[in-house]
Each structure stands twice: as structure tokens, then as C-alpha cells.
């Protein structure tokens, strides 16, 4: 497969730690749980997008870009890490933020990721929920062209075949760490939204012949759409790698029912999971992604989805800055 043939910048602190969740495993009565600390990738408070950006920014530089354009929700972790990667590479950065989450904490549009986007020097363009993000990015790219610049558009979540290479790399990294620890990973569980993380992990495990299963927990309140997106990115990623795509339908597993009413809106199970991880393991999850994914994992365990002797890795994809935009959700918890 030879991942090294693809251009790559180095932004992330790798390998990220793979740590046992001893107290949580005990409290839940098994399986054996570990956490993969991709919240600690190191770029401007970390998160999963940093691995994708290593490949995306390298491609942008290869194409001679001077301006990075991307998009997300107001509290997007992806755009925050994109702003940091652009700053570190000496590139300008324009961000389309859409008000897709009907959340009204007073400083939702000022604190957390938004505060960091501004600090990192990105130009922020806030739009209404219904805005077509792709059209808004293309319009910004046109403006860059007219100024004589060279734009490079990174899709929402950095989820295309290039970005997914970051999670192909993560699958290989996990396999190495597990080997060194004498552990066989049966399943990896993580929050799924724009699909690149899950697609990259599936492609990576497939490429190295690993039988580790990947379970995405949908946080978009639309699991069938999320699964379709994962398939699309997986197909493109396998093609880029020169791999035959895994055949069986069962390879893309996206669990629904944990997102609540919509993307970004708190659920009681999320608040409980975030609070529980803080108090049993001293770990900080986030309200939009990892809190809902952990609530999903805890429920799948309660449903008997894993055997007591299974080894399950929860991938902590980051997102912690958003916690500060959701103070009222945790009041009294």
C-alpha cells in the first residue's frame, strides 16, 4: 500500500497514546476498554482533523495554493484545526461557518472553537443554517482568484480520499501499538459525521489484513446518510490506494439512535457519558461528538454487543473546546 508515496506535512504528535480505561471497564463489567487519544494530536488543542490535514495541506502546497478555504458549523473542530494548519504553513484561511445548531448559549458564537479560529488568524464568514456551504466556498474561491491568489478548498470535515489517508495511517498505528502491547483489537468505536475517519480506518485495517471492526456512532441524527457517506469516501480511498474495496455490505457499521434530535443538540445520555468519563477516568469528552459516541458505546455494551473478553478501543476524536460553548447543558450535572 505504501502510504509514504502520498505527500504529507507533519502537524500531529504521533503516535497518540493508547491507554486502558481500567475503571470504566470495571464499572461496566467488561469488555476490556482502551482509549486512543486523538484528542491529543497536538495542533491547536488537537482532534481527528489534524491527521487528515497532514495530507490535505500537503496536496494544497503541491498545487501552489496560497489560501485554504473550508466550512463547518459555528463550533466546528475541523475548521479550527484547518485554521491552525494554514497558519503553521503560512497560508491564508477563509472559513464558512453556518448556524446549523439551534443552540442559544450566550457566547456560543464567541467562545470555544470560534475564539480559536479568530486567534489563529482565519477570516470567518458566518452564514444562516440553510446556506449551501459548497456554493459559499466556491464564491470565496472566486474572490481569491480575482485577487490573483490560488485557493484550495477542503471539503466539510476534510472527508475525501486525501483526508481519509490520515485515518488509514491511524489504523496502521493502532495495529502497531496493539502488537507491541500484546493485544488484539476486536472493535474500534468512534463518532461518525462526515465519514472520513471511519472510511480511512476501514480502508487501513482492510489494507493490512486486520480483522478489527469499525463501529461508527452517528452524531448527525441521520445514520443511513452517514453510512452512505462513509461508503462513498471508502470507495474513493480504496481507489486512491489501489486496493480492491472490501466486498461485504457489513463492513460499514453506523449505529443510530444516539444523536438526539439533531447534530449539536445535547442529549441526557451525552451529559451523563461526559460526566461519567470525567469522574471515573479524569478524561474530558465533548458535547457534539465524543460524548454522544461514548453514550452509544455504553449502550451497545449494555445490549451485549461485545463479549466480556473482547478488546474495544474508543477513539477519542477531540472536540473538547466546544465544551465551553455548552456550559448550560452541564449546569447541575
Ligand X SMILES: *Cc1c(COP(=O)(O)O)cnc(C)c1O
Residues that bind ligand X (CB under 6 A): 47-48, 77-78, 157, 159, 191-198, 286, 289-290, 317-319
Backbone angles phi, psi at 152, to 5 degrees: -135, 120
Contact between 110 and 24 (Cβ < 8 Å): no
Q: Up-side HSE of residue 118: CA atoms within 13 Å toward CB?
A: 10
Count other Cβ atoms within 10 Å, centred on residue 37. 18
Q: Which residue has the cell 474495544?
A: 312
**Catalytic residue selected from 76, 159, 187, 194:** 76
Q: Which is nearer to ligand X, 89 or 194 (CB)?
A: 194
Q: Which is nearer to ligand X, 197 or 212 (CB)?
A: 197
Distance CA 32, CA 28 (A): 10
Residues paired with residue 70 on neighbouring β-strands, in sequence order: 95
Tell the smallest beta-carbon distance from residue 147 to ligand X (Å).
30
Tell the smallest beta-carbon distance from residue 32 to ligand X (Å).
23
Tell the smallest beta-carbon distance from residue 302 to ligand X (Å).
22
In the bound complex, which residue of the shown chain has the CB atom lying closest to ligand X?
319
Segments in 13-76 forming alpha helices (H): 22-28, 49-62
Q: Which 3-state string (H, E, C) describes 79-125?
A: HHHHHHHHHHCCCEEEEEEECCCCCCCCCCCCCHHHHHHHHCCCEEE
Closest among 264, 222, 212 to 72, alpha carbons compared: 264
* 224 included as an active-site residue: no
Longest dimension (CA), the chain: 61
Residues with Cβ within 8 Å of 322's Cβ and at least 6 positions away in sequence, in order, are: 75, 77, 112, 113, 286, 287, 288
Q: Which is nearer to ligand X, 205 or 289 (CB)?
A: 289
Q: Label residue 64 exposed, middle or buried (CB < 10 Å: 0-12, 13-18, 19+).
A: exposed
Residues paired with residue 189 on neighbouring β-strands, in sequence order: 215, 314
Q: What is the distance of C-alpha 285 from the center of its chain?
A: 13
Distance CA 249, CA 231 (A): 10
Tell the smallest beta-carbon distance from residue 294 to ligand X (Å).
11
Q: Which is nearer to ligand X, 93 or 191 (CB)?
A: 191
Tell the smallest beta-carbon distance from residue 182 to ligand X (Å).
29
Q: Which is nearer to ligand X, 159 or 177 (CB)?
A: 159
Tell the smallest beta-carbon distance from residue 192 to ligand X (Å).
4
Q: Which is nearer to ligand X, 12 or 144 (CB)?
A: 12
Q: Which is nearer to ligand X, 183 or 330 (CB)?
A: 330
Tell the smallest beta-carbon distance from residue 197 to ligand X (Å).
3
Distance CA 245, CA 274 (A): 36
Q: Which residues are catalytic?
A: 76
Amino acid at each position: 500500500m505504501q502510504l509514504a508515496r502520498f505527500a504529507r506535512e507533519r502537524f500531529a504528535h504521533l503516535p497518540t497514546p493508547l491507554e486502558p480505561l481500567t475503571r470504566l471497564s470495571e464499572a461496566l463489567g467488561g469488555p476490556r476498554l482502551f482509549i486512543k487519544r486523538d484528542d491529543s494530536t497536538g495542533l491547536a488543542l488537537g482532534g481527528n482533523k489534524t491527521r487528515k490535514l497532514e495530507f490535505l495541506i500537503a496536496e494544497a502546497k503541491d498545487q501552489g495554493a496560497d489560501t485554504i478555504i473550508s466550512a463547518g458549523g459555528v463550533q466546528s473542530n475541523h475548521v479550527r484545526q484547518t485554521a491552525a494548519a494554514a497558519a503553521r504553513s503560512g497560508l491564508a484561511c477563509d472559513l464558512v461557518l453556518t448556524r446549523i445548531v439551534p443552540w442559544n448559549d450566550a457566547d456560543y458564537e464567541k467562545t470555544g472553537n470560534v475564539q480559536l479560529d479568530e486567534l489563529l488568524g482565519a477570516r470567518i464568514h458566518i452564514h444562516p443554517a440553510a446556506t449551501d456551504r459548497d456554493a459559499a466556498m466556491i464564491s470565496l474561491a472566486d474572490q481569491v482568484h480575482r485577487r490573483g491568489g490560488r485557493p484550495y478548498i477542503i471539503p466539510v470535515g476534510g472527508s475525501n480520499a486525501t483526508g481519509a489517508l490520515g485515518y488509514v495511517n491511524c489504523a496502521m498505528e493502532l495495529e502497531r501499538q496493539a502488537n507491541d502491547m500484546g493485544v488484539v483489537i476486536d472493535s474500534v468505536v468512534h463518532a461518525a459525521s462526515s465519514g472520513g475517519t471511519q472510511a480511512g480506518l476501514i480502508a487501513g485495517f482492510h489494507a493490512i489484513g486486520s480483522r478489527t471492526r469499525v463501529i461508527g456512532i452517528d452524531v448527525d441524527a441521520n445514520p443511513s446518510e452517514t453510512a452512505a457517506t462513509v461508503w462513498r469516501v471508502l470507495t474513493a480511498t480504496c481507489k486512491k490506494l489501489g486496493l480492491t474495496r472490501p466486498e461485504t455490505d457489513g463492513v460499514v457499521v453506523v449505529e443510530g439512535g444516539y444523536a438526539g434530535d439533531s447534530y449539536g443538540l445535547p442529549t441526557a445520555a451525552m451529559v451523563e457519558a461526559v460526566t461519567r468519563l470525567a469522574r471515573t477516568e479524569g478524561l474530558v469528552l465533548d458535547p457534539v461528538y465524543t460524548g454522544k459516541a461514548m453514550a452509544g458505546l455504553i449502550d451497545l455494551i449494555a445490549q451485549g454487543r461485545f463479549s466480556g473478553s473482547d478488546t474495544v478501543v474508543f477513539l477519542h476524536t477531540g472536540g473538547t473546546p466546544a465544551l465551553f460553548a455548552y456550559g448550560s447543558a452541564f449546569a447541575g450535572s
